[in-house]
Amino acid sequence: MPGMYFEDFEEGQEFETPARTITEADIVNFAGISGDFNPLHIDEEFAKRSRFGRRIAHGALTFAIMTGLCARLGMLEGTVEAFYGVDKLRFTRPVFIGDTLKVRVRVVKKEDRGNAGLVTFHNEVVNQRGEVVLVCDTKILFRKRKSA
């Protein structure tokens, strides 16, 4: 899919991303990149004694994977001016090694900003059981066709 312009979006429009399985390598690599070596993520014995009973993925990793899955839709290719922000971010369930995630995306608001337009998306990251593991609203500034 080529990148979408501000005019291409409609409130209520929905998208669903491809899926991706979380691996141990994802968690280990993210710990190294972020510097977050919390034992809930990297120490199996510690995590066994936690409320989760096993290691969990970092919340920030789950968010990062969400952004990557959304990018795979192609609608951001060459038409995004800026990632404007995130509102109402919540991690509603743990993500475990072996969980397969996808994102349900819905356009909730469009705001004309002159030579660009701000689109607000409601995002739900769901696992293979259909359980929501992360929810947030993202705001992205898109080019307009007439200014492209």
Residue pLDDT, tens place only, 54-77: 999 999 999 999 999 999 999 999
The pLDDT-based confidence of 4 (bands split at 50, 70, 90) is: very high
Return mean pLDDT, the chain.
96
Could you tell me if residue 83 is inside a domain? Answer: yes
β-pair partners for 20? 101
- Residue 146 three-state SS: helix
CA quadruple 93, 96, 101, 107: dihedral positive or negative? positive
Q: How many structural domains does the chain have? A: 1
Domain of residue 16 covers: 6-147
Indicate which CATH number applies to the domain containing 76.
3.10.129.10
Q: For the residues 139-148, what does the mean pLDDT come to?
A: 84
Could you tell me if residue 1 is inside a domain? Answer: no
- Confidence check: pLDDT of 138 > 50: yes
β-pair partners for 82? 141
Could you tell me if residue 44 is inside a domain? Answer: yes
Identify the pLDDT of residue 67: 98
**C-beta separation of 114 from 15 below 8 A:** no
Could you tell me if residue 63 is inside a domain? Answer: yes
Global pTM reads: 0.94
- Confidence check: pLDDT of 148 > 60: no
**C-beta separation of 19 from 102 below 8 A:** yes
pLDDT tens, position by position, 81-117: 999 999 999 999 999 999 999 999 999 999 999 999 9
- Residue numbers annotated as active site: 36, 41, 56, 59
